[in-house]
Each structure stands twice: as structure tokens, then as C-alpha cells.
Amino acid sequence: MKIVRNFSFLTLSQTGERFFNFLLVVILARYLGVEEYGIYALTVSFVGMFGNLFDGGLNFLLTREIASSRKNEAVFFTQVLLLKIIIGAIVFIALIAAAFVMQYNTKVFFTIVLFAVAALIVSFSNTFRALFIGHERMEFEGGLAVLYRFLGFIGIFFLLKAGISFPVLILPHVAAALIVLSLSYYLQTKIFPLVKSKGYLNIKKMEIFKQAAPFAVWAIMGEIYFNIDSVILSKLADIKTLANYNAANRLVFASLLLANGLTLAIYPHFAKMWSGNKAHVYTTFNLIFKLLFFISLPLSFVVSFFAEDIIVFVFGSKFYESGSILRILVWAMIPLYLYHLTGRTLEAIGEQKFVAKTIFFCVVGNILFNIIFIPFYGAKGAAITSVTTSALLLSIHLVFINKKVGMFQIGDIVHKIVVPFACFVLTLIITTNFLNWMISAALGFLVYFFILYTLKGIKWDEIEILLGHERKIYE
């Protein structure tokens, strides 16, 4: 099994990617101030809602096909690429039209246009990179992702030093996207050459599009779900409120690194194993579910406990108001950690239609609740909505997975975490009165993981599942 190997590559690469992305956000916030940073936050959220429309679900389908067949089908890949060109052009025009309809000022509008160009180019590089993921060669995917963030960061940093602002400040993203697209194409042709097979010679674009549609709906609804709150805030509140909310939001999503890396690593493995070894999928699912919950619960609590201290440390005192937003929003971390696992598991076993339906349902709820709560509670209303709808989405997934894969072992998880978590909370409460918040948090985690290890919350033979050694782990 390549789960640990792929997870290691993805974790390292995503650590680098998130580091440069997060560092960029911090520098922009400190250099530009709350309101100018709000332009960047709005741009990323607005374009982000259309990001997966550029893909149309085709990259996920391509990855699954390669993971299942272990072949780079030339006809299939060519048809996918042609569909991407058609879809990309339509979506780009629609995105620009939507920005125009929203009546943003000139600076915001052209900032959105340039960032949309970068997103379109990245979507084409992602098609080539889908081949790498399908072959479980995450080092190529990870390296290119880090390179894109690094080049964008370096370019924007020097432009900031030169006193350049938006929309020109987005140009490094466009340049970085072009470089990564060129490298993706080069690696694909040299390492993963395309081959023709009789089974794919007569496949039609419409057939591919129909297969990809459920992936597209899931991905698109996911992007809308995670970005619509910022767009609604931009119209129902002011740019300062949006900036404060986005600062808290960035911290929460920066923490999703582990969940994203681990679940992306297991996606092609589950797709390959589901037809022949469902018991193994069930066992691995339970193990990863437990790991993600054991990490996300204390992490959510400590961020909520020290919310203002963390915000000021990262973004500066100008963003102090974000602390009260972060204290609420961080509790979405637990369902989001686990949603990464449930969503990708369901996709891998062919249930992408169900995933698409559930995310659509939650997007509608997210929009309605935001429209209701934001006028009364501002950014806190958006935070409450995010926590509520993410918990609802996870609950729906778990009910379905219980029927499809098997009952996940929640009793074992709760039993093993109660005592370590109680000691963790007690440590924070006692030490926060006389220790620096960072030292107090570090001490709390040491206590938590030591007790968890002592009580055998995670056993070595469970870890061996990720290392590829099959054993019976549940008595």
C-alpha cells in the first residue's frame, strides 16, 4: 500500500503550499491593512466559487479511471482536454459577467478578472497533474503545487515592496500558473506517455461529461459552500467586516492540511480496493476517522480558547476583532476534517451522485442562513452558519456510509478520548493564568498525547494498516 508514502509526500508538499499561501495572506494583511486586504479576500472567494467549474469534474474522473485501469488512455485524455477548453471558456465568460452584475468598483473588478485568468490556467495544469495522482505519484503533484505558491508569493512580495497594489498585484499568480502548466505538460509527456487502447477508441465527449457531472456538482457546490459567506458579506456588510471574517476563515482552513493530505492519499487506494476488498476499505476508513477526530477535537478547543491571542500574533492588532469570529468558526474544523474523509471515500466507491446531492442541499441551507443571520449578527452570523451546515453535511454522510460501507466505530473513539481530552482542557485552564499562551497550549498537547498513548488510543497494529501490513485489528 502506498498510503503512507503518498501521505508523506502530500503532507510535505501541502505544508509548503499552505506555508507560502498563509505567509502571503499575513504579509498582505500587514502591508495593506484591513480594507485593502478585504479586496484580496473578496477576489479569492469570488473566483473560488467558479474554480471547480473550470474543471467540470473531469479531473476527478480522470484520476479514478487511471487508478482503476493503470493506463494513460490517449483518447480518453484528449477528449477530457477538449471538454476542458470548451467548459473553461464558458465559465470564464460567466465569471466576468457575474462580477459585472455584482457592480464591484473598477479596482475590485479587474483584480477578479486577473485572478480568474490565473485560475483558468491552473485548471489546465491540474488536468495533467490528475495523471500523477491516478498513478499515486504524489511527489509530482505536490512539487508543482508548492512551486505555484512559491512563485506567486515571491512575485507579490517584490511588488508590495515596490509599492504596487491591486489589480497589478495579481500578475505574479498569472505568471506562476503559466510556468506550472508548462512543467506539468513536460512531466506528463516524459514520464507518463499516453497510450491507445481499443476499449476507449469510440468513447464520446458527452459520455465523459455525463460521468464527470456528479464530480463537478460536488466540487462546484463545495467551492460555493466554502466561499459564498464571504461574497454575501461583501454585499450585506462592509469590506472591513469581510476582511476580519476572512482572517479567521484563513486560520481555520490552514489547519485542514492534515485532513486534505491524508484523504487525498487514500482516494486512489480506496477506488482500487473497493471492488475486491471492501473489508479493508472499512477497516482503513475507521482508522483514519479516529485519527482525524483525535487531532481535530483538541486543536479546535485550543484555537477557540486562545482565539484573540492567535489572531493578534498572526495578523496584528488591527485584526483583533477577528478573535471573536474565530472562537465560533473554529468549531467547524471537526466536521470539516471528517468531511474530507467521508466525501472522498464516497467518491472513491462510486457514490459521487449522493455526495453531489448532499453538498447541494447544504449549499442552499448555507445561503439561506447567511442571508438571515448576517444582517443581525454580521460575521459571527456567517461563522455560526458555517459550523451548523458543516456538522449537518457530515451527519448525512455518516448515515449513508453506515449503510454502504459499515458501521463506523464511534463507541471506541469516544471511550478512548474522554480522559485525555479532559486532562487537556484542565491543563489549559490551570496553566493559562501564569504561562504564555503558546507554552500553555504546547503543554496541553503534550499531556493529551501522552495520556492518549498510555491508554492505547491508537495501537501500533492499527498504524501498520497505513504501512501496508494486513492484520486483524478489531477483536
Whole-number pLDDT of residue 443: 93
Position 475 confidence tier, pLDDT thresholds 50, 70, 90:
very low
* Structure confidence at residue 114 as a pLDDT band (50, 70, 90): very high
pLDDT cut 90: percent of the chain above it:
15
Q: What is the mean pLDDT of the segment spanning 306-330?
A: 88
Q: Is the pLDDT of residue 206 over 80?
A: no
Average pLDDT over residues 8-34: 74
pLDDT at 470: 45
pLDDT at residue number 172: 92
Cβ atoms of 84 and 55 within 8 Å: the answer is yes
Mean per-residue pLDDT for 298-307?
Answer: 92
Q: Are 383 and 325 in contact (CB under 8 A)?
A: yes
Stronger pLDDT, 249 or 55, i.e. the higher one: 249
User: Does residue 144 carry a pLDDT above 60?
Assistant: yes
pLDDT at 444: 92
Determine the average pLDDT of the residues in 315-320. 83
pLDDT in tens, 146-173: 888 889 889 998 998 888 888 888 899 9
Close Cβ partners of 423 (under 8 Å, ≥ 6 residues apart) = 447, 448, 451
Average pLDDT over residues 42-70: 72
List pLDDT tens digits, range 326-362.
999 999 999 988 888 888 788 777 777 787 778 788 8
Comparing CA positions, the residue from 94, 107, 105 lying closest to residue 47 is: 94
Q: pLDDT digits over 255-290, tens only? A: 777 777 667 666 666 766 666 666 666 777 778 888
The mean of the pLDDT values for the chain is 78
Give the tens place of pLDDT for each residue, 420-455.
889 999 999 999 888 889 999 999 999 998 888 887
26-36 mean pLDDT: 79
Q: Which band of pLDDT confidence, cut at 50, 70 and 90, is reported for residue 217?
A: low
Residue range 288-307: average pLDDT? 89
In the predicted model, is pLDDT for residue 228 greater than 70? yes
